Amino acid sequence: MTTPSVTQPAAVAVPHDPERDLLRVENLRVAFGEPGAEQEVVHGVSFSLAPGECLAIVGESGSGKSVSARTLVGLTGGRSRVQADRLELDGESLLEMSDRRWRSIRGRKVGFILQDALVSLDQLRPVGKEIDEALRLHDWGGRPARRRRVRELLELVGVPEPEVRAKQRPYELSGGLRQRALIASAIAMDPQLIIADEPTTALDMTVQAQVLEQLEAAKRRGKALILISHDLAVVSKLADTVAVMAGGQILEYAPAERLFARPEHAYTRALIEAIPSADSRGRRLSPAQRRAPLGAVERRPESDGPVLSASELVKRFRGPDGVDRTVVDDVSFSLGQGETLGIVGESGSGKTTTARLALALLDPDGGEVSLAGEAWSGLPERSRRQRRREISVIYQDPLSSFDPRWSVEQILLDALGEEYAGAAAKRARAVELLELVGLEQEHLKRRPLQLSGGQRQRVAIARALAPQPQVIVCDEPVSALDVSIQAQVLDLLADLQKELGVSYLFISHDLGVIHHISDRVLVMCDGKVVEQGSADDVLVRPRHPYTQKLVASLPALERPAPPTEPLREVAA
């Protein structure tokens, strides 16, 4: 492919050979709602795709990326209206099709893969049946032939012992295996086009890598692949062409190499800038925000010892089968003042339990936690209560951490201590806190439900700051947010740390986020600490095999050179 010149409009930047194209979409528009009161959510999108190539459609929630892709399988939903100048698959128009014709396209000509197999495969049926169903629906072969084919398919996607696995249900399979089974069910009829809608979201890092591997294999077999994702890094390895969408439009449409090396649209640039990673350490991820200066909030006085430390923590839970499971096993760490300790691990690694132990919301079965050098976990709750103001918490889902009946004002006033005498002083302090996190007085009267996701997390941060804590435990605080909002929240946390000297115990499954924000890192696996040390030591030069595997599975983004010195490095 040739690199398009800069002056060309982004939307026509990718040259293609109409002879080869499997898929041609021109001026696609999708609207929802009752006739007369329709709301258009996709405003004239065009793209095309040849066999053996991968198009990535990237955008944040509400960008219209998923809806655009679903027009190709006719699954945009009951009250939608799809219009286009051209919507062609393999020379056949997909407009105005009957339900019967759609059914013959779905699965047979287009394979559609949705995120987590734990929710996108029927939990009550063996995976073999699900794959078989894809064949049966298109009258493929007799029962014995189908059985052989199911076996072949499972082998093709790298499932060992396919006969045994075919009889198991998704929840009985490991994350990687059930994800492979999901892919097998989508490619059963050997469709020419495969659409993967957020195929790696909510998956553990190592499983993500396996899924991408399988998609790449399909591409090598000559399939056309559409990859929908909010994550530029995930698509960077696979995509030949990238379409960046926002607000129902394609803002930039370019060959992947070009787009990552020299993003033209400001939105694309910001999106790339916003990705936290090793390279982004110490730099802002989002354009600077207007925020109130520090005001009356005091910086913590310097202190020497660790503000929070844990030694040899052990926690067991009894499973439903009556067997004890050690969820946290011999975990020790210490957190200094103004420092960020990142805890990274996959689901079930015990990181959230560790957070709750640190907060003394759970009592350990062994070991102890001390706060500011004094006993913490061993104390009775009565004596802990006064000291709870020294350590606060931010959750992944702020909405569920707010009483649904309360306004932002009630939430903040509730978190303030006795030191503010009188309602006026308390209110003034609440406003101050809001401004500190980049919100305004007008937000006081709102209920959390009336705020956006990013605003809710800011309120949660304001609440965590209200008691003027030494330590804030951040449990996956940005995992549910879009990349740009995540960038703003991470920047805010970094600013607050600089200004207030507060320490963070920062928990995340995302290596990039952890690398960006942490001074030191703790890697957890099956309840144990497998490696800890400075962020660069652990994540750039990992020693433990598990950490090495994690780091290797991290999809690295080909970054553009820093804008200040663009060409010199290339020349050198």
Phi, psi of 492 (to 5 degrees): -60, -45
Q: Site for another protein (CB under 8 A): which residue of 8, 452, 534, 548?
A: 452
In the numeric block, which tokens belong to residue 209? Answer: 């890598």
Nearer to another protein, 47 or 267 (CB): 267
Q: Count the site residues for another protein by CB under 8 A.
A: 109
Q: Is 58 in the site for another protein (CB under 8 A)?
A: no
Q: Of 7-15, 83-91, 108-116, 535-543, which part binds another protein (CB under 8 A)? A: 108-116
Nearer to another protein, 455 or 547 (CB): 455
Tell the residue number behind the tokens 């040849």, with chain if given: 50
282-301 binders of another protein (CB under 8 A): 286-287
Give the bridge partners for 252, in sequence order: 244
Question: How many Cβ atoms are within 10 Å of 144's Cβ, its own excluded?
Answer: 8
28-57 binders of another protein (CB under 8 A): none
- Vertex 241 angle, CA 238 and 246, to 5°: 105
Euclidean distance between CA atoms 309 and 328, whole angstroms:
15
139-198 binders of another protein (CB under 8 A): 161, 164, 168-175, 177, 182, 185-186, 188
Residue 289 C-beta: closest distance to another protein, Å: 8
Q: Is 348 in the site for another protein (CB under 8 A)?
A: yes
Give the list of residues 6+ apart from residue 407 with CB closer than 8 angstroms, or none. Answer: 444, 445, 446, 447
Q: Site for another protein (CB under 8 A): which residue of 11, 217, 270, 314?
A: 270
Euclidean distance between CA atoms 242 and 67, whole angstroms:
17
Q: Site for another protein (CB under 8 A): which residue of 21, 53, 116, 252?
A: 116
472-501 binders of another protein (CB under 8 A): 475-476, 479, 482-485, 487-488
Residue 173 C-beta: closest distance to another protein, Å: 5
Q: Is 202 in the site for another protein (CB under 8 A)?
A: yes
Using DSSP bridges, classify how beta strands 224-229 and 54-58 pair: parallel, antiparallel or unpaired: parallel
296-335 binders of another protein (CB under 8 A): 319-321, 325
Residue 322 C-beta: closest distance to another protein, Å: 8
In the numeric block, which tokens belong to residue 56? Answer: 């990535």
Give the bridge partners for 195, in sequence order: 112, 226
List C-alpha distances in Å: 450 to 123, 355, 466: 35, 29, 22
Residue 72 C-beta: closest distance to another protein, Å: 10
Which has the closest alpha carbon to 334: 512, 542, 533? 533
367-396 binders of another protein (CB under 8 A): 384-389, 391-393, 395-396
515-534 binders of another protein (CB under 8 A): 526
Nearer to another protein, 28 or 412 (CB): 412
Tell the residue number behind the tokens 């202190």, with chain if given: 303
Give the bridge partners for 392, in sequence order: 472
In the numeric block, which tokens belong to residue 109? Answer: 């000509």
Question: How many Cβ atoms are within 10 Å of 437's Cβ, its own excluded?
Answer: 24
- For the chain, what's the residue count? 572
Residue 226 and residue 69 in contact, taking contact as beta carbons nearer than 8 Å: yes
Residue 501 C-beta: closest distance to another protein, Å: 21
Nearer to another protein, 73 or 331 (CB): 73
Q: Site for another protein (CB under 8 A): which residue of 111, 248, 255, 342?
A: 111
- 117 by Cβ neighbours in 10 Å (0-12 / 13-18 / 19+) ranks as buried
Nearer to another protein, 400 or 564 (CB): 400
Site track 210-239 with another protein (rule: CB under 8 A), x = hit: ------------------------------
